[in-house]
Structure 1
Amino acid sequence: MTDLREFAAFAERLADVGRRSALHWREQALETRDKRADGAFDPVTRADRETEAAMRAYIERHYPDHGINGEEMGAVAGSSPYGWSLDPIDGTRSFLCNLPSWSILVALLEQEQPVLGVIDIPMLGERLIGWASHCWRQKGEQRAIAKASGCRTLEQARISTTDPYLFSDQERNAFDRVRRAALLTRFGHDGFAYARLATGDIDLVLESGLEPHDRNALIPVVRAAGGAVSNWRGEHDFADGCLVAAASGELLRATVKLLQEA
């Protein structure tokens, strides 16, 4: 527990490094390229690359034995059981559109499993930190416990996904069953939606196609806030990139049941 407290403090300093870099490069004329060749626009900017480089350098100075796995620069193995997962700008499309919902994601991994997460939202001056049963929201100088809403039923649930057009046909049909049962649906928030789940403002998030750097920070934050997380089958293997995050176990189970209907 002492180690995680130490790591939580370090993760916040690491997020500060990322925030300064991302805000600096946001003010520059950004070089942007498309990472995909299949026609689906997947942008990466100089801000993504410079921010990840700054964060990696900070880890290497303080924990040279830790592994690092980032979206833009790949994985470097360490000799320690601990490692760091980095998404320097989650929501690059929002970043390019000057929307405030992009975030910086930091996770501490122990034996490859995420045990601590930070969702930093630079444009709002806000941060969610979660590990074990500890989750708090930092807004300026104010820090308060963050807690999921506890919503139990789909009929009362406010749900979100980043983009329904990213789903396969089968996934979209499954998502639509959940959407029709829910109270309301909002789109386009990437990792920011999970921050809002942790603060009780969204009740359910469903996504597919997530890479480890997309999800590693989100899982410990949601769980620490009292929420529940699984894949679309109700299991804890996220290798297929499908994730459900819910404000309660009851809501998670009801969602998984609908997702699995033929």
Structure 2
Amino acid sequence: MSEITRAQKDEFIEFIAYLCDEAAKEILPHYGPEVEIERKSDATPVTLADRNAEKRIREILAERYPEHGIIGEEYGREREDAEFVWVLDPVDGTKSFISGVPLFATLIALLHNGRPVIGAINQPVMKQMVIGDCETTTLNGKPVSGRPACQLNEATLCTTDPIRETLWQNKADWSALPPKTALYRSWGDAGGYILLCSGFIDIMCDPLMEIWDCAAIIPCLEGAGFKATGWKGGDAFDERCIIAAKEPLHNEVMATLYPER
């Protein structure tokens, strides 16, 4: 684990909350049925909310920490080999955003020597801001730690897209998992992790993520006491996918996905 001082953490936590608030000012004016939608080269949607929010964050970073690097979904990479690098997803869950579903969120992470050490998940419509530093996690400034592990047959399982082919990656038997849970819903995107950290659901799974999708989430999960791995059971950040639950529930999930292990 990359080490930064407590004073640095406190400074960066305060700053990341400020970045989220500034991004929200750019996002909320575009939230509504008349939102203008463009398509990227891969046919995924993008809006002015995505672009304007990232522009604003980059402006603030250039003033406050010009030596830091930036990796952003909309405007690429700068100084990505720096000691400190900010990873930006201004609107994670654009499909939810354009559909009026408040499961989208702004994701901002700080990497130190290539590893995520602080992350923020901000849902501006619901006014929910989760910040984690791998040791503690807060929701609107108050500590949260999810709810205690339950049995798999009592658990609520969420994912973003329940028919996404990558749920079956690494030969996982995904079809076996939902029937063994109490409730299975597509309350995903970044908002699903707010539900997880704040104690409303028990398992959150994302099978395919970019660095800007997962970097902010992992410090929040770790700080709230969740076990988060990838589909291969290894480091979620390295694998760029997440299976998150409290132990021993996480073990039950993995045993269901891979019964032959």
Instruction: Give the TM-score taking structure 1 as reference length.
Output: 0.90
- CA contact 2:172–2:258 (8 Å) conserved in 1: no
Counting only pairs closer than 5 Å after superposition, residues 106-255 of structure 1 correspond to structure 2 as 106-138=108-140, 143-168=141-166, 170-171=168-169, 174-236=173-235, 238-246=237-245, 248-255=246-253
Residue of 14, 26, 31 corresponding to 2:31: 26
| Mapped contact 2:69–2:78 kept (Cα < 8 A) | yes
The one-character-per-residue Cα deviations of 1:204-262 (angstroms, maximum 9, x if unpaired) are: 0111111110011111101101111000122115444321011x121112212222235
CA distance in 1, matches of 2:206, 2:52: 27
Aligned counterparts of 2:44 and 2:234: Cα–Cα separation in 1: 28
Paired with 2:23 and 2:99, the residues of 1 have a C-alpha distance of 19
In structure 2, what is the equivalent of residue 99 of structure 1?
101
Bigger drift between 165-174 and 224-233 goes to 165-174
Q: In structure 2, what residue type is equivalent to 1:151? A: A
User: Amino acid of the residue matched to residue 255 of structure 1?
Assistant: V
Q: Distance in 2 between matches of 1:28 and 1:47?
A: 13
Q: Deviations over 1:101-130 (max 9, x none)?
A: 211011111111111111100000111111
Which moved further from structure 2: 168-177 or 125-134?
168-177
DSSP-derived class of the 1:233 partner: coil
Residue 257 of structure 1, aligned match among 243, 255, 258:
255
Task: Determine the C-alpha separation between the residues in 2 that align with 1:169 and 1:62.
Answer: 40
Determine whether 1:35 maps to 2:34.
no
Match of 1:71 in 2: 73
Q: What SS does structure 2 have at the residue aligned with 1:115?
A: strand
Q: Secondary structure at the match of 2:38?
A: strand
Give secondary structure in 2 for the equivalent of 1:209: coil
Alpha-carbon contact 2:228-2:236 (below 8 Å) kept: no
Task: Confirm or deny: 8 A CA contact 2:218 2:237 kept in the other structure.
Answer: no
Matched, 1:52 2:57: no
Secondary structure of the corresponding residue to residue 163 of structure 1: coil
TM-score by length of 2: 0.90
- Aligned AA for 1:125? K
Identity of aligned residues (%): 30
| Aligned-residue offset at 1:81 | 1.0
Task: Extract unaligned runs of 5+ from structure 2.
Answer: 1-5
Cα deviation, 1:1-58, whole Å, max 9, x if unaligned, reads: 1111110000000111111111123369543222254xxx521112111111111111
SS in 2 for 1:98: coil
| Structure 2 contact 152–249 (Cα < 8 Å) conserved | yes
CA distance in 2, matches of 1:29, 1:54: 22
Q: Distance in 2 between matches of 1:3 and 1:239?
A: 25
User: What is the rounded CA distance, in whole Å, between the counterparts of 2:55 and 2:167 in structure 1?
Assistant: 37
